[in-house]
Structure 1
Amino acid sequence: MDRPVIDLPSRLLLNLQPWRNAPAWGIAFSGGLDSTVLLHLLAHLAKTESLPALSAIHVHHGLQSAADAWPQHCQAVCDALGVPLQVVRVTVQPGASLERAAREARYAAFASLTQADGVLLTGQHRDDQAETLLFRLVRGAGVRGLSAMPAQRPLGQGMLVRPLLDVTRAELEAYARAHQLNWIEDPSNQDRQFSRNYLRHQVLPRLTERWPQAQASMARSAAHLREAQGLLDELAQIDLASADKPGEFHWLGLPSLAMAPLTSLSCARQRNALSHWLEPLTRLPDTDHWSGWESLRHAVGDASPVWRLADGELRRAGGRIWWLSGQWLRPFSAAGTWPDPASALKLPGNGVLTLSGQIPYGPLQIRYREGGEVMMLPGRGHRDLKRLLNESGVPSFVRGRLPLLFRDGQLLAVANLAGLDGCASEGWRLHWQPPIADQGLR
């Protein structure tokens, strides 16, 4: 039997206890039943409880004409409750899944508005949790996916918190009717071409007709799976401990792992460790795409295999795997003349270059490797640059980006490589700050 409605405010406060000292609570306010009840509860609790500053955020997707009236409705509700509202308009990128694209646009807006240590509250409830579990089950999700929605997760510079996951939709409806609340009924929620709507209207009612506690049981299963995922994450941290140590080229600023500790694990533990490591970097591959890891793992020593994932790619070089994304996958332009070597030189699409010590005389140029370059080394004579890079173990994907310092056609230095990055007798060195390894959508 569902818990009495009168218990809802105290349950909400209990669930929000860990975040009572946050600087602010933002409420994702669509105007629907769930967020309307959440906003009403918090606005009234704020009259008797010491809560962080409340505000509401309404994201307008512009996907249907009916939605144009929703910001006005949300503003009226917030005005009546004395809660400031911010309306954010987003553009939903076209794609195979309109649901997913709208969700990504919505959460990108939420992330941009969540400040340091701030908390964004959303109104998903227990029925949503069961629906999410079932949706991911039919898509063949693993333990992480079947854990469904976590009660909290990082968002922007703060946290996203779902304080109503132990509350049923029936309880929310009862509260709303008891307080005579008005809410928006999104017409698209009845469109059963959307997978979640089909499950909500066609599948879950049949399940609960046969098993009345089905949604509660599914939510409980999701909690068990979250616990199992927690244990898998702990195992991954143990397995990554020796692989995640900085290597020789840590100055590249790229996420990387040593291969040997990984390949000593069983295949299942390799996938678990890599999934844990990749999760903050990219959307994880499905089962079929894990063949890319096998190709990377089994590649011969002189190969340069690539495993392309949703938000970047993995490369193998120097006994390590490297994560490349953002600027590292974009074209970059030739640098040319260095007009003022005493000042930093911004390389188009390729970081920043500086000289330390006594600035070498003469007009200086910055170029990138084209092949056939030769460098004069004290005591060694002329040496082919390709051989020097091989000796230094420079990863193959870095070689074309390494800035080269020339004067009158003569190669003077290769940035950042010990013994090649300057002239000890003249007391100068060439320093390169590579492009920042941004993680795109992640």
Structure 2
Amino acid sequence: MPIGRLRDLIGASLAALPSGPIAVAYSGGLDSSVLLHGLAGLPAARERGLRAIHIDHGLQDTSREWASVCIQVCSALDVPLTVLSVDVELSSGLGLEAAARRARFSAMQSALAEGEIVAFAHHRDDQAETVLLKLLRGAGPEGLSAMRKLRRFGHGHAWRPLLGAARTTLRTYADQAGLVWISDPSNANPLIDRNYLRLEVLPRVRKRWPEADASITQSAEWIRAAADFIDEQSALALARVQGLDPATLRYRQWLELPDALRDPVLRRWLRAIDLPEPNRYQVSELVRQLAEAAEHKLPCIRWPGAEIRRYRDLVHALRPMQLPEAQWRRPWDGVTLPLPAGLGALRLVDNYGRDITALAEQPFAVRFRRGGETLRLSSNGYTRELRDLFQEAGIPPWERGRIPIVVDADEQLLAIADLWTSDAGRKRFAQHACRLVWEHALTPA
């Protein structure tokens, strides 16, 4: 493909972009050098405010020299360059390639202006490699559909105008244009999965099936259409099965969803409430337990950073909970009392909502549920079991041991946080002209 034809390909993709300046993700390698050179030769790209961003990972001894080469190339092209240094978290457990990509994307997103479009030089060969990698890792439709030409990215968009071009086409362009680029020695390391596919697997595949890259890309485009349809349907399905509390789902309706929707709905729900997603095994176990556990059971599935629990007709998604020590108990004089396990604080306030001064002789104590508690809510009412009050209020069992209880010196229950106050508690608080307030994570600001 001559220089003009590849530049026409970039120009046609550029014309379809939303408005906004363009920043090239410029590593200094062959692919990004071709993209930068192609865009620099288009007046329409320069009119948008073309610039380049180079990320220095610091993983190679020569990384500073690479940055110097990028500066020289951008100066010759009269394209402004921003060089960003990042620290790659090698202990993240993601592996070197994934950790470097996360650091690179995070820095890139932070550097973008509102509405700016970052241009990546991924091409058709990259697309084929990505699809095969995702397939080998057991990805679903979203993963197998590989890279989009345009998608949201930070404050703007990620744009990949070269997805229709082969790596050999980019090399021909670079040779014809006399480009200078950097060769990263890590690209020759077959221990890296992507490199192994590129160096060992795909050459054999292409020898047997010369059109393999085009065929894989075509399949990825069809899967993309299916993934987009599933995404749209999962949004509609989630609206049907989500509870009034955003962190809940009506589990029977969720189980009744088609297999193609059940997993995407679960993941969309968890992303919306900012919880990590489970792996496929954990999803399967969740389905099994919800389908098989008896109604009086309380199944719970956990994975790092999240857990899902069932109560009545709903499943609740939450972060792993802390529980106070069973024998925790503190004398209390009414001033703000911090509670253990991140459960907020208790305070007594006057009729104007102001904190009271400390009461003499610490007339109260605070503890948590131990089982068998009872209280009388009114002078002429029956003694009620706390367990029954919790059930009537629909408070999930796992929350009941996290609600503070106020008692007197004789262990008579005066208040269950600020949810219920016993007849004795109302009289005691009235003596001091105060009321109880429980400040916790769900307290309105």
TM-score, scaled to structure 1: 0.78
1:265 positional shift = 3.0
User: Where does residue 36 of structure 1 map in the other structure?
Assistant: 33
CA distance in 2, matches of 1:154, 1:366: 54
User: Where does residue 277 of structure 1 map in the other structure?
Assistant: 269
Q: What do the CA deviations read for 1:292-311 (whole angstroms, capped 9, x no partner)?
A: 33224433334333223455
Sequence identity percentage: 31
User: Where does residue 178 of structure 2 map in the other structure?
Assistant: 180
User: Where does residue 440 of structure 1 map in the other structure?
Assistant: none
Quick one: which amino acid aligns to residue 85 of structure 1?
A: T
Q: Which runs of 5+ in 2 are unaligned?
A: none
1:130 positional shift = 0.6
User: Where does residue 75 of structure 1 map in the other structure?
Assistant: 71
The number of equivalent residue pairs is 420
CA distance in 2, matches of 1:396, 1:18: 55
Contact 2:339 2:345 in 1 (8 A): yes
User: Where does residue 85 of structure 2 map in the other structure?
Assistant: 88
User: Where does residue 264 of structure 1 map in the other structure?
Assistant: 256
CA distance in 2, matches of 1:393, 1:268: 32
User: Where does residue 215 of structure 1 map in the other structure?
Assistant: 213
The answer to whether the aligner puts 1:377 opposite 2:371 as a matched pair is no
Aligned CA distance change for structure 1 residues 86 and 340 (closer, same or farther; 3 Å): farther
User: Where does residue 132 of structure 1 map in the other structure?
Assistant: 130
Q: Which runs of 5+ in 1 are unaligned?
A: 437-442
CA distance in 1, matches of 2:79, 2:267: 44
CA distance in 2, matches of 1:28, 1:134: 24
User: Where does residue 59 of structure 2 map in the other structure?
Assistant: 63
Q: Secondary structure at the match of 1:106?
A: helix
Larger radius of gyration: 2
CA distance in 2, matches of 1:14, 1:346: 62
Q: Residue 121 of structure 2 is aligned with which of 110, 123, 129?
A: 123
1:135 positional shift = 1.8
Aligned CA distance change for structure 1 residues 331 and 395 (closer, same or farther; 3 Å): closer
CA distance in 1, matches of 2:59, 2:194: 17
Contact 2:28 2:69 in 1 (8 A): yes
1:207 positional shift = 1.9
CA distance in 1, matches of 2:113, 2:312: 39
Aligned CA distance change for structure 1 residues 187 and 362 (closer, same or farther; 3 Å): same
User: Where does residue 255 of structure 1 map in the other structure?
Assistant: 247
User: Where does residue 145 of structure 2 map in the other structure?
Assistant: 147
User: Where does residue 292 of structure 2 map in the other structure?
Assistant: 298
Aligned CA distance change for structure 1 residues 393 and 91 (closer, same or farther; 3 Å): same
The answer to whether the aligner puts 1:307 opposite 2:308 as a matched pair is no
Quick one: which amino acid aligns to residue 28 of structure 2?
A: G
1:306-385 alignment, distance < 5 Å: 306-309=300-303, 311-325=305-319, 329=321, 349-350=342-343, 358-359=352-353, 361=356, 363=358, 369-372=368-371, 377-378=377-378, 380=381, 383-385=384-386
Q: What do the CA deviations read for 1:172-228 (whole angstroms, capped 9, x no partner)?
A: 222322332222211111111112111101121122223222111111110000111
Aligned CA distance change for structure 1 residues 72 and 224 (closer, same or farther; 3 Å): same
Aligned CA distance change for structure 1 residues 289 and 319 (closer, same or farther; 3 Å): closer
The answer to whether the aligner puts 1:412 opposite 2:415 as a matched pair is yes
Quick one: which amino acid aligns to residue 414 of structure 1?
A: A
Contact 1:306 1:313 in 2 (8 A): yes
Contact 2:334 2:357 in 1 (8 A): no
User: Where does residue 392 of structure 1 map in the other structure?
Assistant: 393
1:82 positional shift = 3.1
User: Where does residue 286 of structure 1 map in the other structure?
Assistant: 280
Aligned CA distance change for structure 1 residues 18 and 346 (closer, same or farther; 3 Å): farther
TM-score, scaled to structure 2: 0.77
Quick one: which amino acid aligns to residue 145 of structure 1?
A: G
1:132 positional shift = 1.0
Q: CA RMSD in A?
A: 4.0
Q: What do the CA deviations read for 1:245-285 (whole angstroms, capped 9, x no partner)?
A: 42xxx3xxx63212132123345543343244346653552
Q: What do the CA deviations read for 1:395-421 (whole angstroms, capped 9, x no partner)?
A: 234334446667888643535x5889x
Q: Secondary structure at the match of 1:434?
A: coil
Contact 1:403 1:414 in 2 (8 A): yes
CA distance in 2, matches of 1:221, 1:283: 26
Quick one: which amino acid aligns to residue 132 of structure 1?
A: T
Aligned CA distance change for structure 1 residues 210 and 432 (closer, same or farther; 3 Å): same
Quick one: which amino acid aligns to residue 194 of structure 2?
A: R
